[in-house]
Amino acid sequence: SQQGEEDPQALSIQEGENATMNCSYKTSINNLQWYRQNSGRGLVHLILIRSNEREKHSGRLRVTLDTSKKSSSLLITASRAADTASYFCGGGGYQKVTFGTGTKLQVIP
């Protein structure tokens, strides 16, 4: 079974708005990672938050982690058309990273 489930499955917003994606995971993790995938390409690492951290920022990205609820959220502020992609969360633990099903984000110019 897969580690995580992202919510929503698809999200469409206007350029300049904020986009929030949520991830729930099942088993204990050492860290939670977020990746972006542009159509037809491999995944690109965005940000990693460790299990003892609650919030992390990187540029326009903000990630939170709630280990008691086994959930994480990714916020992209001031979205751009170039942010259009699929976003995946991955739970890091036991020598591997297992992924959820992804959120497809469309940013309309």
Partner 1 sequence: DAGITQSPRHKVTETGTPVTLRCHQTENHRYMYWYRQDPGHGLRLIHYSYGVKDTDKGEVSDGYSVSRSKTEDFLLTLESATSSQTSVYFCAISEARDEKLFFGSGTQLSVL
Which residues in this chain contact partner 1 in the complex, by CB under 8 A? 1-2, 30-31, 33, 35, 40-45, 48, 88, 90, 92-102
Determine which helix (DSSP H) or strand (DSSP E) holds 29, and give its type and residue range.
none
Q: Which is nearer to partner 1, 79 or 87 (CB)?
A: 87
Taking the least distance from each CB to partner 1, the nearer of 76 and 92 is 92
Q: Alpha-carbon distance 105 to 93, whole Å?
A: 27
Cβ atoms of 60 and 77 within 8 Å: the answer is: yes
Q: Which two tokens stand for residue 15?
A: 């350029």
| Closer residue to partner 1 (CB): 18 or 58 | 58
